Amino acid sequence: MPVKKEMGLAIVGCGTIGRIRAIIARDYPGVKWMGLCDINRELGEKLKEDAGADFFTTDLDELLNRPEVNAVIVATDENNHAAPILGAAERGHALFIEKPIATDARESLSILKAIESSGVDAVMGYTQRFRRRFLAVKERLITGQIGDVHSVVTRAFMNRMVPIATVRRTQNRRHLTPMVVSGTHSLDMSMWLMEGKTPVSIYARSTDRVMSQWGTKDSTFGIFEMDDGTIFSMNISWGLPEVWPGSVYGLEIGIVGTEGVIDIEDTHRDLVLATNVQQGGGYVPDGYNPPARHVDFLTSYPPGDLHMDQLWGPMREETVSWYQRICMEQPTPHATAQDGHRNLVLTMAMDLSARRGKEVSLPVDLEELMEEDV
């Protein structure tokens, strides 16, 4: 079938994630032209060569002004999403934005307003929505298989190599917290599965015994109350030792309804490798030498796994699905920019409640989210 719309794709940010999406684009027939931008010329030129891209520049405007461009992936690091999003929206280009939408709640709102007034189609990279297991759960929930959901408990455990890799990219770490950077994935998943419910309050606490030396926290646990009385317990620790077999992420979600329950075990303990050969990690920062790892929960690297020089798994499904959304006008389960803003505000509200040691009513004033430690 011919594509309905050919894509001229701009990818801003040629690091780990921009690279994955560019390599997948190379093989997607609807992508007729691909241009790249990164402030790191060497990295960008290398990706241009590997992905067979048509163009590379270190100048964002030069890329976004190219006549071929009609869709943009924003894969810069967490603190640098605003300029490419705003530049794409004002030129009317469709958007795929890596999470979190921003690390400043006020900036996130102005980004959302710009997207809404431009009318562009903008989605967010909440990759785990594209896994078969979660799509199966979503379908059972929307067809009422467990009745009315009233209690949800979510627990995310992460290897500390992830936050160490994340915070090394910047000195601006104040909002690079477990919830804002990583818990946003499991919060998005939980909110998506509870679609239609709106949080009215949050009470959370955090600890920072280990990760404070890297300028972030270890864990944040909280309880949201929803507008219909549902309770949602959202918990993350990203301070697990490097030798923890989960190289990146393990998740458990329990969803209790009036007629049934869905119990999701997504810790990857069902696929264990133990070996004398030293294993790497999911995100090992340059110049950082973690202790030897000899046990690995396979499939715990969220984007997917490599075989035949190709990535297989959720990030491939998600990326191809977005190309289909643009080129074939197919409906997809991507998170919207509105979801991205909501997720940022809720994760920051957990941090605010933990800082204050008090319950926070929702919706919360965005200025309060940005206030200095209280």
Binding footprint of ligand NAD on the chain (CB under 6 A) = 12-18, 37-40, 43, 60, 75-78, 80, 98-99, 125, 127, 169, 302-303
Q: Nearer to ligand NAD by C-beta: 8 or 18? A: 18
Report in angstroms how near the CB of residue 272 gets to ligand NAD at its nearest.
23
Which stretch of DSSP H or E encloses residue 197?
Answer: none
Report in angstroms how near the CB of residue 345 gets to ligand NAD at its nearest.
17
Q: Nearer to ligand NAD by C-beta: 348 or 360? A: 348
Q: Give Cβ neighbours of residue 261 (< 8 Å, ≥ 6 apart).
A: 146, 254, 255
Report in angstroms how near the CB of residue 162 gets to ligand NAD at its nearest.
9
Which two tokens mark 196?
């239609």
Where in 4-85 does DSSP place strands (E)? 7-12, 31-37, 55-57, 71-74
Indicate the residue type of 30: G
Give the sign of the dihedral formed by CA 165, CA 170, CA 174, CA 175. Answer: negative
The CA-based angle 105-168-186, given to 5 degrees, is: 50
Q: Nearer to ligand NAD by C-beta: 13 or 245? A: 13
Report in angstroms how near the CB of residue 128 gets to ligand NAD at its nearest.
7
DSSP summary character for residue 179:
I
Asked if residue 293 lies in contact with residue 279, where contact means CB atoms within 8 angstroms, the answer is yes
Phi, psi of 121 (to 5 degrees): -80, 120
Question: Which single residue brings its beta carbon nearest to ligand NAD?
Answer: 15
Report in angstroms how near the CB of residue 158 gets to ligand NAD at its nearest.
12
Q: Residue 184 and residue 292: Cα distance in Å, rounded?
A: 29
Report in angstroms how near the CB of residue 274 gets to ligand NAD at its nearest.
26
In order of 152, 295, 332, the CA distances from 269 in angstroms are: 22, 11, 30
Residue 222 forms beta bridges with which residues?
A: 204, 234
Q: Nearer to ligand NAD by C-beta: 13 or 199? A: 13
Q: Nearer to ligand NAD by C-beta: 32 or 169? A: 169
Q: Nearer to ligand NAD by C-beta: 103 or 219? A: 103
